[in-house]
Structure 1
Amino acid sequence: MPHTKPIDTIHDLFAHSKNEPDIQSDSDSNVNTESSANFQDNVYEQLAQLDYISVDELTASNVDVSAELDTRTPVSLVDFFEGLAQLATMGVVEVTDIVEAIHREIVLRPLGRFNDRNQSKWQRGLVGRIYGTVRHASRLIGDNVASGVRLYDTLLNKKNAQPLPEKLKRLVNVLNGVMGDHLVTHENPLAIPMVLYDRYGYLQEGTLSGRVIVLCHGLCMSHLSWDPFQNDGLGERILVRQQDVTVLYLDYNTGQRISSNGRDFSKVLQHLVNHHPDITQIDLIGHSMGGLVARSALFSGKVQGFNWVQRVGILITLGSPHQGASLERIGYYVQDRIAKLPFAGALAKLGDLRSAGIIDLRHGSIRDEDWLCLEGRNVLPQEFRHPARLPLHVKAYLVAATLVEGHYNNKATSLLGDGLVTIESALGEHTGEHALLVPEERKAIFYGLSHYDLLYSDRVHKQVIAWLFDEERSMRHTYIESYPHELGVMI
């Protein structure tokens, strides 16, 4: 009998073979079923390995990463004031560069001298020297103020650095999201190191064993965004459901490259299992960019040869732009058009002030190869980015949201999504090699929620807990749909 549905990919072939009517004997059927399953597993395993064959050298799984990670400390109050002084200097310098570029273009372009030769002469001229003096004076003042703050703290001989108040901590994380890579490049004390916090808001130091669940926040957010001290926070609700698990909160600089954060996160988790060998399972929950960082860590961990990857059981992403975020694409389009306008091209440099982490969200880039070969702060076009498949042993669950409260199955609803991420992107759906191939029954769409509502929604929390502890055992063949003002999750 001819196939009713064309077989476009190897996955369709496998799906068809499982549904093919059995016309052989029972004994032959059992053998064929077993060999078919082995065949599928082997082929999928080989496909998964294709992403890693370009790696020249794998890091040993027992590598010691303690030297770097043990010295990390959160941003203190003194760091905050010193960093602000440097940040003010950096802002003046950046604005001066933009103003000078506009001035230079207005003067040279009407004369037909807007070229590299005359621009180099500009720097040696009177006007160019004036701008250079402004930059030099700004750096000098900023460095002196920052040094004064640090010297004052040293003279007081404080043994313990005063931690940041919660409001300032949130502000620092926003600054890191907007310009975090610039902070790292300029060695600004405001740059946040990647660390793990416990449920009480302290750095993770106690002995761990059993199951560990790590929550990863999104862009411009912090570990405090999960409301770790509130009874209705996701972490606390998980502990109410299962008291013998450990919930940790990741805090990191969201302005850095997603692949850099993923590589660093992989080291943090390897450090964790090296010092706590009794950890039996690691589950990762990521909101927005946090889901991409978790995926990048899984990919990087396998490349690095780290054994923590084998302990990962579940990955849950909440509104993560696996196929990119529309808002960043629009921003890049506007910046590109401005750059081509006469006398306004220098204004496009304002777009370069946004962080590399935001730029990576354009297409959901989570591998170094998506940007290493490029000049400047950019990423490869979507059709050239590199795939990063999920490890086969990890159970992945994907959550999408849409602002629409009712079920409208049309393109506009999907594109609207949660206001920042489309439904298709959050569910990892793609027609090519970037599809995450997560089974439909492990996906959920929540209607009437925004991107940030996913962090606090009672409906989302219940679904996450159900997935974590396998409370839904009914067989499904389609994704979950959850609507407002209902008592349970609708299938």
Structure 2
Amino acid sequence: MSSPNLFYNDSINYGSNNSDAHTNNGNNDANDRHKLETQLDSDTSMPVHGDLYEQIDQLEAIDVDELVKLLADGGDETTTKSVTLADFFEGLAQLATMGVVEITDIVEAIHREVILRPLGHFNEKYLNKWQRGITGRIYGTVRRIVLLVGNNLASVLRFYKNTISKKTPQPLPDSLKKLVHVLNGVMGDHLVNHKNVLAIPMMLYDKAGNPQGDTLSGRIVILCHGLCMSHLSWQSADDHGIGEAIGESQPDTTVLYLDYNTGRRISRSGRQFSQLLQNLVDNNPNISQIDLVGHSMGGLVSRSALFYAEQEHLDWIMRVGNLITLGSPHHGAVLERIGNHVQDIIAKLPFAGSLAKLGDMRSAGIIDLRHGSIRDADWNALEGRSVLPQDFRHPARLPSGIKTYFAASALLETHYDSKMTSLLGDGLVSVASALGEDDVEHALFVPDGHKAVFYGVSHMNLINSRRVREQVVEWLLDNGQSDYVDRPRIYSYPKSLALAL
């Protein structure tokens, strides 16, 4: 019985096992094999060998699943300080250890299948006996040794950070910051659950790249980045990105940049973002208007924050004027659905099913992109780290009174009306998903005049495209004054005929 969660189940439950099998000499190998066969063919459990096994059994009495749930539920209480250079090396040490442990899990899972499946014993009964058997305990010993070495290395680096480098902590270079954000996007929820210092805290930054701490007033615009990206992603090579363009067109508007862990559940990030904005308004009562601009996952996090602010009757939502999303998978991302489908196929193949565990390493944030889930209700009643199927997900309509604009893009440079064009979209998100178009229950009813499709623009280039930048500035400058409801959908084409790659 393969576990749906590689990090949450196998590496913790099996990691509590131990073995003194290494003390056996060559003459005892036959006896060991006989004991394993006896276990697989008998309903009785293996006798405990010595005090060491008694201590192991006491450890196994701890309800690890409940402990993991507590860690997951407490994930909102992340640190509020930026990652330093010392944090980076400490986190890598722990991450390397985690990687070795997970590889051991996969090897053992394949080993179990090869031995048990031909005998017709690949079921819960015999898998439980495997865990208590000699081979299972040997794998447990490997895990414990790796964890011991890795934790000691992390402890040394932590000691260095807290003593020698504490007085002069070195900030992380921008290049390494981007690497850390990629790691958070891929396995950010695992980093939080393992209390890894590489887990990115949710923070607001100003245009100079410093944590926001100044007194604010008037209108503010908050830019929210997408998966595996950071607040640095809004910077352009010519120093004329969306943030700079907004600042130049509206000098009295303050532009802020949200930074967050994109590997966590989108709904958790949305709740935290909502509370962050409430604190921002409480500390800066002279803020008159808040506009949210989200790229990709950032648009979903913004929608989630608005949804929970309305549910919890938080007053910051009363100051929101505009919501603009750029290529956000409101109804799911094609690649995540394909990846999940391939994983399901692999899981059904004999002797290869354990390889499907590799797919479980991807973060919960990526899994939420499968159907664009922004509510806790889409996942919190499920075991493992999945989400409800598309037909059973819960609607999350847009709050009333907020001007909403959706921008989509397509790799093709001309308007070619076909199912393939809409499905391909910008390479990651279909045009229909980015425009919030779905069945009646889940459709986001945004007027056609509030939608724009940019041809010849890839998903990642949505934040760098001049045409997209100009459209965002136009929407924000208008600030809901014009009647876009009766206008047709906006179609934007490139001036040149070069291929969009």
Answer yes or no: same fold by TM over 0.5. Answer: yes
What residue number does 2:68 align with? Answer: none
The match for 2:162 among 148, 154, 157 is 154
Q: 1:173 & 1:157 partners in 2: Cα distance?
A: 23
Residue 299 (1) aligns with residue 307 (2): yes
Of 165-174 and 300-309, more deviation after overlay is shown by 300-309
The alpha carbon displacement at 1:473 in A equals: 4.3
Conservation of the 8 A alpha-carbon contact between 1:230 and 1:236: no
Residue 116 (1) aligns with residue 124 (2): yes
Conservation of the 8 A alpha-carbon contact between 1:212 and 1:282: yes
The match for 2:388 among 366, 377, 380 is 380
Q: 1:110 & 1:144 partners in 2: Cα distance?
A: 41
The alpha carbon displacement at 1:68 in A equals: 6.7
Q: 1:152 & 1:376 partners in 2: Cα distance?
A: 37
What residue number does 1:12 align with? Answer: none
The match for 2:374 among 366, 369, 376 is 366
| Secondary structure at the counterpart of residue 436 of structure 1 | coil
Residue 485 (1) aligns with residue 495 (2): yes
The alpha carbon displacement at 1:156 in A equals: 1.3
Conservation of the 8 A alpha-carbon contact between 2:87 and 2:161: no
Q: 2:133 & 2:169 partners in 1: Cα distance?
A: 47
What residue number does 2:207 align with? Answer: 199
Letter matched to residue 460 of structure 2: Y
Q: 2:362 & 2:455 partners in 1: Cα distance?
A: 31
Letter matched to residue 295 of structure 1: R
Q: 2:464 & 2:227 partners in 1: Cα distance?
A: 16
Q: Could you say if the C-alpha distance between residues 125 and 480 of structure 1 is closer, same or farther in structure 2, counting changes exceeding 3 Å?
A: same
| Secondary structure at the counterpart of residue 114 of structure 1 | coil
The match for 1:100 among 74, 93, 108 is 108
The alpha carbon displacement at 1:465 in A equals: 0.2
Conservation of the 8 A alpha-carbon contact between 2:234 and 2:242: yes
Deviations 1:53-107 (A, max 9, x none): xxxxxxxxxxxxxx979x6111111111110000001111111111100001101
| TM-score normalised by L of structure 2 | 0.81
Letter matched to residue 490 of structure 2: I
Q: 1:474 & 1:303 partners in 2: Cα distance?
A: 29
| Secondary structure at the counterpart of residue 116 of structure 2 | helix
Aligned residue pairs: how many?
419
Q: 1:201 & 1:295 partners in 2: Cα distance?
A: 25
Letter matched to residue 348 of structure 2: K
Residue 131 (1) aligns with residue 139 (2): yes
Deviations 1:165-193 (A, max 9, x none): 00000000000000000001111101001
Q: Could you say if the C-alpha distance between residues 141 and 282 of structure 1 is closer, same or farther in structure 2, counting changes exceeding 3 Å?
A: same
Conservation of the 8 A alpha-carbon contact between 2:223 and 2:292: yes
Letter matched to residue 205 of structure 2: Y
Conservation of the 8 A alpha-carbon contact between 1:228 and 1:236: no
Residue 327 (1) aligns with residue 335 (2): yes
Q: 1:93 & 1:358 partners in 2: Cα distance?
A: 22
Give the % identical residues. 64
The alpha carbon displacement at 1:474 in A equals: 7.4
Conservation of the 8 A alpha-carbon contact between 2:236 and 2:464: no
Conservation of the 8 A alpha-carbon contact between 1:389 and 1:436: yes
Deviations 1:393-442 (A, max 9, x none): 10000000000001111111111100000000000001221111001000
| Secondary structure at the counterpart of residue 478 of structure 2 | coil
What residue number does 1:346 align with? Answer: 354
Q: 2:170 & 2:319 partners in 1: Cα distance?
A: 36
1:45-444 to structure 2, matched below 5 A, reads: 72-156=80-164, 158-227=166-235, 231-444=239-452
Gaps of 5+ in 2: 1-75, 497-501
The alpha carbon displacement at 1:161 in A equals: 2.7
The alpha carbon displacement at 1:117 in A equals: 2.0
Q: 1:454 & 1:228 partners in 2: Cα distance?
A: 12
Q: 1:182 & 1:68 partners in 2: Cα distance?
A: 14
Deviations 1:418-472 (A, max 9, x none): 0000000000001221111001000000000000110100000000000001189
What residue number does 1:18 align with? Answer: none
Letter matched to residue 291 of structure 2: D
Conservation of the 8 A alpha-carbon contact between 1:286 and 1:292: yes
Gaps of 5+ in 1: 1-66, 487-491
Of 409-418 and 360-369, more deviation after overlay is shown by 409-418
